[in-house]
Amino acid sequence: MNDFLTKFRQFILDNSELLYNELTYKVFEEYRDRFLDPEFVVTVDEEISNLFFIFSPFMHVFDESHKEHKKMLFDVNKDIIVEDEDKLNCIGSGYIGIDGIMVIGMAPGFYNGNKTDILSKPLKPSFYFALTSKMLREGFKSYLKRIYFTNLSKLCLSRNLMDDKSYNNKYSYEKMYERYLYILKEEIRILKPKKILSLGRDVFNFMNKNGIESEYVFHPSYYIYRKQFELGKNNYHSKIKELFEE
């Protein structure tokens, strides 16, 4: 294990008594500059601890030749970065080699202006801070080393904007999906995923409408609303195991 991974793993172990959201915030606080550096990619091996994948916002590879993918992904996103108190841009996280699994959600969570959101400016890693992220990352635990997380919408809006009728039409989910479809297509072109997993019917239908083949599963919010965290986690584990064993 290289020096960075050794220190990163120890950092997680030293703070392992914290709740998931507290620890992920602390990780991002410590390593934010590396996440935002287009040149910084973590090269891992198959033996690394699952702790890295569950608590890591980093893009990672197994093959040095895939390191350039991070710069390519950042380049396609940089045109939409906003300097605005009510918005953040969301960028993918996870495995950026080829032939992995791409997991796609609807949109980033609300921008609440809390310490995590402020720290995350201008780019918020996909599926990292929230309870939905915890369920997915624990459910996919054994396979996270080969998963890339992203969203159809790349813009994280404040709850105030989403509740404001004057903004509602401009920032409807459907319009956001269409606006950032070109970025999603670039993510797919660059990473050439083995399979694409759509979280929720809206995502699946949008993908299908645009001729992009994907597998459908419930969004984590389906289980969270019903207070079925363990069921959701187990179902995700079964599904991802099935995809990788096909």
Please state whether the predicted TM-score (pTM) of the whole model is above 0.85: yes
Cα–Cα distance for residue pair 233/22, rounded to 1 Å: 20
Residue 149 sits in a domain whose CATH number is 3.40.470.10
Of all residues in the chain, the percent with pLDDT exceeding 70 is: 85
The answer to whether position 57 is within a domain reads no
Instruction: Answer yes or no: are the C-beta atoms of 208 and 197 closer than 8 Å.
Output: no
The answer to whether position 81 is within a domain reads yes
Q: Give me the pLDDT at residue 245, please.
A: 86
User: Which is more confident, 23 or 116?
Assistant: 23
Q: How far apart are the first and last CA of the chain?
A: 30
> In 3-state terms, the chain is what percent helix, strand and coil (to 5)?
50, 15, 30
Is pLDDT above 60 for 168?
no
Is pLDDT above 80 for 213?
yes
In which domain, by residue range, is 143 found?
68-245
Q: Give me the pLDDT at residue 50, please.
A: 86
Residue 197 exposed, middle or buried by CB count within 10 Å (0-12, 13-18, 19+): buried
| Domains contained in the chain, number | 1
Q: In the structure, what pLDDT confidence band is assigned to residue 112 with cuts at 50, 70 and 90?
A: low
Q: Give me the mean pLDDT over the 24-36 stretch.
A: 92
Is pLDDT above 90 for 246?
no
Q: Give me the mean pLDDT over the 179-193 stretch.
A: 95
The answer to whether position 33 is within a domain reads no
